[in-house]
Chain A
């Protein structure tokens, strides 16, 4: 029987890795990957807690919905990156600063 906390630790590590990727990467695709890592970490949390919700399985259902939404967001995000690339000829997210104050 694996302890709940182990799942949570792993999820935390993954989440932090995602954040690191989002902050540091100069490539929008990698930023998107970072976001996906974070989403996965949260799904892992949902699933880990769902383990103890035997009757309703609410956690797993939420995890499913989250996966679907993440897929949708990735689709939209990638399309945005594509458009951004078409316009600016780069996918560095920091170059998207034409609205800077």
Chain B
């Protein structure tokens, strides 16, 4: 490949700088030249995209490139600034820039009427900058820096409509949840630093391979530099996983992601579906060699639990974006599971395919919401434009949107001819194989995963049938004339990005043989040794997909034709799902309320004890000072004034001596004379 585009390593470096600096410059220029904000942002992300393509071609199928310069030097180690290019990096760069470009174009229309448009594009650029830098960073410390920056830009974008109270609460929640995870990440970094004296990813996991050279023996974890009890290895892995779980919305830190849907839909699609939430998966894949057996099982358990839980919640939600949010959580759970079972290649593959179809789903939902919002504003109506109960039968008014949405839904369900089929089945196959090796209780993993997979089909087609088929329910519900409400197809700015995305949801983009996972170019490059074939490679896709198709039919009958309903609305299962397993309530009761109570108690303590102490000391000081004041006024000043007034009196009196009257002088003279005489007579 080097012969096709023959660029030097220096060129790679320049391109990498161009790649990350373009969004950064766009961030500043968007805020300065407000009129051209969207043009600037799109230009910059296009530049990044082109640079990413060139880098991809350069690095993919070739060796790893690593550039770094020392940044902060300490005694026995230094922190370096640098780029690390390997397959994972360039794949992520390409993915992020492509999706970001499409979302930027989409946003031009979506955000057109908003007064804060320049700010929106500035935030998007900031996000792209930090995400791309995170991917390019060559050591854990740099990753941490951009990890935080990603969290911060996510905070800004979730709270973009900061006048909505829910948005403000949501971005606060997201930020705090992410901080909890970041704490774990930081602890993990510190453990690594103390153990290996370097944070360089290449040195730790790549060519240097310090991780591989460390080993556990006799309960000790030994590295070339240090020795510590082996439970620290588990702790380090769990700490990194905690950071990743917060970013990727895994149980128990997942509750921020559904709330993050308060942001603009385009933002949801870019950040909360395609890129930022993938950062956790990306990080785990980067540091995967670190994890020992315990950590891997924990990751797998949490992944599968999250996948199942989120899927069940998605079954009953009425808010279209919320369904997609829980679907995202569920799919991220799949990726975590893949990492847990030791199949990082599948995780990354699913990450890539999921990024496309989930982005497409969000953008499609965004188009619907956008149109309904216009309708609402045009007719001065009062309804929630994200609520699916008001939709229905939209296929006729917006066929292109419906078709691309259905393609994405099929990809999500893992139906054949879609990218999801390849990646999801890759994970499922890995899980089955893993369970087969482990045996026993571990068979519960493939069972739950299969169940989740079917649930996925169910909930996403529930959305499709509710939204695009049946009758348009809004006029009925609002008791208005049916013909007043005309829903139009999206215009070009919205339409073309989703169509491009729809192409990327197809299986042939990733594999010339749509039923064969092993034929995927991406998969082969990432994991050449794995998946040599086996019984599960044939069985698993077949039985998953047959049942999925059956469920699809049931869903169609239930939601599009309204042939029957499940009649579960009053049962506890429905409520559990509808209330999102009561996680918000549990957290509220278990953490928020006690925290508030504690805060109140501290407040009371502050108010009554500390303030009381302070106030009483203040009062005491006031009393002392008034005493001192009294002393000053009456004793000190009294003394001074007394002396002064005595002097004054004396002065007045003595002044009368010198009053210029001759006879007075004589009186004084005589007085003194008499005094003198008396003195003489007495003594």
Q: Do A and B come from one complex?
A: yes
The answer to whether B660 and A19 have CB atoms under 8 Å apart is no
In the bound complex, residues from chain B placing their C-beta under 8 Å from that of A68 are: none
The answer to whether B659 and A23 have CB atoms under 8 Å apart is no
Stretch of A41-49, A59-67, A89-97 lying at the B interface = A89-97
B478 within 8 A of A: no
Nearest chain A CB to B493's CB is how many angstroms away? 102
Stretch of B395-403, B614-622, B663-671 lying at the A interface = B663-671
Residue of B660, B664, B670 with most chain A CB atoms under a 10 A cut-off: B660
Contact with B along A73-97 (1 / 0, CB 8 A): 0000000000000000000011011
Indicate which residue in B658, B661, B670 contacts A19 across the interface (CB closer than 8 Å).
Answer: B670
Nearest chain A CB to B669's CB is how many angstroms away? 10
The answer to whether B660 and A22 have CB atoms under 8 Å apart is no
In the bound complex, residues from chain A placing their C-beta under 8 Å from that of B660 are: 94, 97-101
B652 within 8 A of A: no
Contact with A along B640-683 (1 / 0, CB 8 A): 00000000000000000011111110110010000000000000
The answer to whether A100 and B659 have CB atoms under 8 Å apart is yes
In the bound complex, residues from chain A placing their C-beta under 8 Å from that of B664 are: 94
Given A19-B670, A23-B667: A94 touches B658 (CB 8 Å cut-off): no
In the bound complex, residues from chain B placing their C-beta under 8 Å from that of A23 are: 663, 666-667, 670
Minimal Cβ-Cβ distance residue in B for A100: B660
In the bound complex, residues from chain B placing their C-beta under 8 Å from that of A22 are: 663, 666
The answer to whether B658 and A101 have CB atoms under 8 Å apart is yes
The answer to whether A94 and B662 have CB atoms under 8 Å apart is yes
In the bound complex, residues from chain B placing their C-beta under 8 Å from that of A19 are: 666, 670
In the bound complex, residues from chain B placing their C-beta under 8 Å from that of A98 are: 660
Query: How many of B's residues come within 8 Å of A, CB to CB?
Result: 10
In the bound complex, residues from chain A placing their C-beta under 8 Å from that of B662 are: 93-94, 96-97
Nearest chain B CB to A9's CB is how many angstroms away? 17
Nearest chain A CB to B448's CB is how many angstroms away? 115
A24 within 8 A of B: yes
In the bound complex, residues from chain B placing their C-beta under 8 Å from that of A94 are: 660-664
Minimal Cβ-Cβ distance residue in B for A101: B658
In the docked arrangement, what's the CA distance between A99 and B662, Å?
A: 11
In the docked arrangement, what's the CA distance between A31 and B662, Å?
A: 11
Nearest chain B CB to A98's CB is how many angstroms away? 8
In the docked arrangement, what's the CA distance between A22 and B666, Å?
A: 8
The answer to whether A97 and B661 have CB atoms under 8 Å apart is yes
In the bound complex, residues from chain B placing their C-beta under 8 Å from that of A97 are: 659-662
In the bound complex, residues from chain A placing their C-beta under 8 Å from that of B663 are: 22-24, 31, 93-94
In the bound complex, residues from chain A placing their C-beta under 8 Å from that of B666 are: 19, 22-23
Residues 39-57 of A contacting B (Cβ, < 8 Å): none
In the docked arrangement, what's the CA distance between A24 and B662, Å?
A: 11
Nearest chain A CB to B613's CB is how many angstroms away? 64
Nearest chain A CB to B652's CB is how many angstroms away? 15
Residues 15-50 of A contacting B (Cβ, < 8 Å): 19, 22-24, 31
- A residues with a Cβ closer than 8 A to B are 19, 22-24, 31, 93-94, 96-101
- Lowest 6 A-B CB distances belong to which pairs? A100-B660, A97-B660, A94-B661, A93-B662, A101-B658, A23-B663
- B residues with a Cβ closer than 8 A to A are 658-664, 666-667, 670
6 residue pairs of the A-B complex, CB under 8 angstroms, read A22-B663, A22-B666, A23-B670, A31-B663, A94-B663, A96-B662
